[in-house]
Amino acid sequence: MPQLSDLPLSVLDLCPITEGGTIAQALHNTLELAQHAEALGYNRYWLAEHHNIPSVASSATAVVIGQVAAATRRMRIGSGGIMLPNHAPLVIAEQFGTLESLFPGRIDLGLGRAPGSDQLTARALRRHLGDEDTAFPQQLEELRHYLSEPVPGQKLIAIPGAGLHIPIWLLGSAGFSAQLAGQLGLPFAFAAQFAPDNALRALAIYRQSFVPSGVLDKPYAMVGINVVAADSDEEAHYLATSHQQAFLHLIRGKPTALPAPTHHIDSLWLPHERAAVNGQLRATFVGTRESLPAQIDDFLQQTQADEFIVNSAIHDPAARRHSYTLLKRLAHG
């Protein structure tokens, strides 16, 4: 049985733009959090690609990864993820080849097949709105080709990128990417932080379809969760209302910057909205060093995760850093 004390912990950061804050502050907060997470011993630090969302400052994901890698020394830095259908595979190979050349042995390339945006934004990105189930494996194969050793006579080479063998992860919130990751023998990251209902099925598909490869000899599954830790349960639940409000605005089709927390969350939503938000955020663990371990351990036993990657959508950056501090202490003493 996996134990939380033995599990690697990593950070998922969407560079939250907070209500009353600026994009510059959001990016500065990311650099501070990354340095803090490295000092605490977190395993990796991933940044997510989203577009046209008022609360997310990491849309130019490769650029932010470079800044975070430059501000840290040892921790792995990567994407959670790059939405591959938004980009030409050659461009991604060159971008991440550049990052790997600057920060050798520290770069992860996590890939998703969703647009990370609405359809209007996807078109503005010049993304082909075709059959993702067909296009994504082809794009992935092309990208892996560019990152492999060039063969004699190869006319199109990613410079930099070719031969660097940057670790590729597939990300998903359902079964398609899980099965593809298993068939290719790649590590898989599941987004339980917003799609908890699909987690166990997708992880089972990944493990059942896994074929050993030159990358992995057995499955490796990282699971995304939300954690809000504080010095009291009351404070933790108060801080967690920022994320709840953000999802409430999303389901209403009116996304905003990450709201300040509130003591009156129940006055803001209707019963069906509360059920929808809490259902989508079911893999959210809120509490203290005393109350959190049992919550998280139960989810660990259900998922049998090899690693947790943790999102903490907390409005105050100091409280956010403190949450990651408490989580690391409760997990590893």
235-261, pLDDT tens digit by residue? 999 999 999 999 999 999 999 999 999
CA dist., res. 69 & res. 64, Å (int)? 9
Tens digits of residue pLDDT in 88-107? 999 999 999 999 999 999 99
> What percent of the chain has pLDDT above 70?
96
Kindly report the average pLDDT of the chain as a whole number.
Answer: 94
For residue 194, count CB atoms less than 10 angstroms from its CB and return exposed for 0-12, middle for 13-18, buried for 19 or more: middle
Cis status, amide bond into 160, omega within 30 of 0: yes
CB-based contacts of 269, cutoff 8 Å, min separation 6: 248, 277
List 79's β-bridge partners, or say none. Answer: 47, 109
Q: What is the DSSP string of 314-329?
A: -SSHHHHHHHHHHHHH
Q: Are 197 and 281 in contact (CB under 8 A)?
A: no
Mean pLDDT throughout 190-207? 97
The reported pLDDT for the residue numbered 289 is: 92
Q: Are 101 and 159 in contact (CB under 8 A)?
A: no
204 pLDDT more than 70: yes
The reported pLDDT for the residue numbered 119 is: 72
The reported pLDDT for the residue numbered 116 is: 52
Tens digits of residue pLDDT in 7-59? 999 999 999 999 999 999 999 999 999 999 999 999 999 999 999 999 999 99
The reported pLDDT for the residue numbered 54 is: 95
Does the domain at residues 4-331 carry the CATH identifier 3.20.20.30?
Answer: yes
The reported pLDDT for the residue numbered 211 is: 98
